[in-house]
Amino acid sequence: MKTTIAVIGVGLIGGSIALALRQDPDFRVVGFDVREDYLDKALTNGVIHAGTTDLQTAVREADAVFIAVPVEQIYKLLDQLAQLTLKPGAILTDVGSTKKGIVAYAAERVPREVTFIGGHPMAGSHKSGVEAANPRLFENAYYVLTPSPETPAGQVERLKHLLAWTRAKVVVMDPQEHDRVVGAVSHFPHVIAAVLVNQVSRYNEENEWHRRLAAGGFRDITRIASSNPRMWRDILLNNREELLRIAADWRDTLDSIMALVESADRDRIEQFFRDARDFRESLPERQRGALPPLYDLYIDIPDHPGEIGRITTLIGAKEINITNIQILEAREDMLGVLRITFRSEAEMEKGEELLRFFNYSVYRRD
């Protein structure tokens, strides 16, 4: 007898979960979405076995339900699911990047005959939509589960068993601990990136060189400011308590280093940067964390006509996919004049090997 999985929201995350689970021939994946064209794409691309715009139809026989929608919509769907007929013993889980509020809300709404377990797959892509769905999207990434103290251990193990098909590193955390940690390493950095970009934007109104010279390292360290504004509005509001605490700590730290600058304390300023460097260099290089990684190579190329075309032809001939290419004018603290962005680490490594074979000087950014 097949296990039925319902995926609510067949975009990038929901579609990738569906594709990963479809690898088990004993799983039947049913997709739900409010838009029929999304479901048609999911069916055409082999992401789901069946699709429906009727929520009750999608979840009636489901042994597990993945709620793969933005944070604010999760609350609305929990309200809807509470009014529907669900299979006794079914597991409900979500993919939201905040957990404390969602887990508490689900505890009040979800019927006792089913189990809600908060979830957060910590992987994504610069692309969106079901067309970008990939069964390996979560491979080697952390997938955090946040059960409540009342959650039966057997249900957590059942969900872990399902998620084994994603090849993610499944870990279990308290919901508040999750929000505190992810707030510091993901949510607050998005705030800082946006603050920096908006600050330079204001300066640029008086002097356009701010924008021109920001094309190099500044663009790299603020890349996450290009994230979806509505999504980040909802994330910040749902993790408000932790972010306010983190912001207070950040202001104290900023005030401290600026006080050292004001007093011209050379030794302690140097120590400030040394401590930051040492901790950063201790971070795992190949391990996927809260922020999406960059798959960039930097290449030195001679200033000859057709040189960029030659590089892209070499890469294309080997069927290596690239997502962006940029000539760098502002290159402070980086090597290489050409930046090529690849779709995945595996594609980047193939590209690096190929370009080195043809005697190009290739660099990665640490």
Assigned token pair, 302: 């001679």
Q: How many other CB atoms are found less than 10 A from the CB of residue 96? A: 25
- Residues 228, 306 within the same domain: no
CATH number at residue 69: 3.40.50.720
**The pLDDT of residue 292:** 60
Is residue 299 within 8 A of residue 340, CB to CB? The reply is: yes
Does residue 269 belong to any structural domain of this protein?
A: yes
**The pLDDT of residue 86:** 96
Strand partners, 297: 340
Is residue 5 within 8 A of residue 19, CB to CB? The reply is: no
Does residue 343 have a pLDDT over 80?
no
Q: 64 — phi, psi (to 5°)?
A: -145, 140
> For the chain, how many structural domains are there in total?
3
Is residue 98 within 8 A of residue 71, CB to CB? The reply is: yes
Is residue 190 within 8 A of residue 221, CB to CB? The reply is: no
Can you tell me the distance from the alpha carbon of 88 to that of 112, in angstroms, rounded to the nearest whole number?
9
Report the percentage of the chain scoring pLDDT > 90. Answer: 64
Can you tell me the distance from the alpha carbon of 267 to that of 287, in angstroms, rounded to the nearest whole number?
33
- Residues 62, 199 within the same domain: no
**Gyration radius from the chain CA atoms:** 23
How confident is the model over 324-336, as pLDDT tens digits?
Answer: 777 765 444 445 5
- Residues 218, 157 within the same domain: no
84-93, 143-152, 225-234: range with lowest mean pLDDT: 225-234
Does residue 288 belong to any structural domain of this protein?
A: no
- Residues 78, 152 within the same domain: yes
Is residue 339 within 8 A of residue 297, CB to CB? The reply is: yes
Can you tell me the distance from the alpha carbon of 258 to that of 242, in angstroms, rounded to the nearest whole number?
24
- Residues 146, 165 within the same domain: yes
> Which range, 99-103, 135-139, 280-284, has the best average confidence (pLDDT)?
99-103
- pLDDT, average across residues 24-42: 94
DSSP for residue 292? P
- Residues 130, 209 within the same domain: no
Domain final position from 281, 305, 328: 281
Does residue 289 belong to any structural domain of this protein?
A: no
Q: What's the residue count for the chain?
A: 366
Domain boundaries, position 270: 178-281
- In 222-283, which ranges are continuous DSSP H helix? 229-238, 240-262, 266-281
The three-state secondary structure class of 202 is: helix
3-7, 30-34, 338-342: range with lowest mean pLDDT: 338-342
Does residue 238 belong to any structural domain of this protein?
A: yes
Does residue 81 have a pLDDT over 80?
yes
- CA-wise closest residue to 49 among 87, 80, 15: 15
Does residue 122 have a pLDDT over 60?
yes
Does residue 222 belong to any structural domain of this protein?
A: yes
**Sheet strands (E) in the chain:** 3-8, 27-32, 50-52, 64-67, 91-94, 115-121, 142-146, 169-172, 296-300, 322-327, 338-342, 361-363
- Residues 127, 225 within the same domain: no
Query: pTM for this one?
Result: 0.79
How confident is the model over 137-187, as pLDDT tens digits?
Answer: 888 889 999 999 999 999 999 999 999 999 999 999 999 999 999 999 999
Can you tell me the distance from the alpha carbon of 235 to that of 70, in angstroms, rounded to the nearest whole number?
9
Side chain identity, residue 322: I
CA dist list (Å): 283 to 55, 279, 298: 43, 7, 22
- Residues 153, 189 within the same domain: no
Can you tell me the distance from the alpha carbon of 31 to that of 36, in angstroms, rounded to the nearest whole number?
11
CATH number at residue 321: 3.30.70.260
Does residue 112 belong to any structural domain of this protein?
A: yes
Assigned token pair, 208: 């356009």
Can you tell me the distance from the alpha carbon of 38 to that of 301, in angstroms, rounded to the nearest whole number?
42
Domain final position from 107, 142, 173: 173
The DSSP element (H or E) to which 37 belongs, if any, is helix 36-44
Q: In what order do the strands lie in the sheet with 322-327?
A: 322-327, 338-342, 296-300, 361-363
Domain final position from 281, 312, 330: 281
CATH number at residue 198: 1.10.3660.10
Mean pLDDT of the chain: 89
**The pLDDT of residue 333:** 46
- Residues 66, 123 within the same domain: yes
Does residue 210 have a pLDDT over 80?
yes
Burial of 198 from C-beta contacts in 10 A (0-12 / 13-18 / 19+): exposed
Query: Which of 216 and 35 is assigned the larger pLDDT?
Result: 35
Does residue 24 have a pLDDT over 80?
yes
Does residue 149 belong to any structural domain of this protein?
A: yes
- Residues 79, 45 within the same domain: yes
- Residues 25, 8 within the same domain: yes
Can you tell me the distance from the alpha carbon of 326 to that of 352, in angstroms, rounded to the nearest whole number?
16
- Residues 23, 136 within the same domain: yes
